Amino acid sequence: MGQEVEVAPDADGVRLIVCTGVFEYETLGLLRDAGAAAAADPTVRQIALDLTGVTHADSSMLSELLFMQRTGRLYLVGHVPQALDRLFDLTGVRELFPLIGRGAVARAV
């Protein structure tokens, strides 16, 4: 039960953050740090968050995503994994997170 947060080098003002594994209250530190760094960097126009490898997430991760969404620069890459899909449906927040295909980010990053 681990988690990994990988931050790709910025390209054209896009910062790609890739999350894999289990994200709960106790394991959000890496994501929180990566999101805060991206939000504080004035050269980052968009924060691309790839959650396709997330295997488990609780409401604290959803809270962190909502916090990151307040920047107005966050969008999700790929698809919403089952771990978050149900949370999005239960809370009605799905439309708050724009989704783009992985190929669109690959061209920018």
Q: At what angle do helices 59-69 and 29-40 cross, to 10 degrees?
A: 0
Single pTM value for the model:
0.90
d(CA 109, CA 95): 25
**SS3 state of residue 4:** strand
Please report the pLDDT score of residue 2 as a whole number: 84
In order of their start, the domains of the chain are 3-108 (3.30.750.24)
Please report the pLDDT score of residue 40 as a whole number: 96
Residue ranges in the chain assigned as alpha helix (H): 29-40, 59-69, 82-91, 102-108
Residues of the chain with pLDDT under 50: 108-109
Q: For residue 87, which of 109, 54, 44 has the smallest C-alpha distance?
A: 54
Please report the pLDDT score of residue 58 as a whole number: 93
Please report the pLDDT score of residue 100 as a whole number: 86
Token pair for residue 53? 């490898």
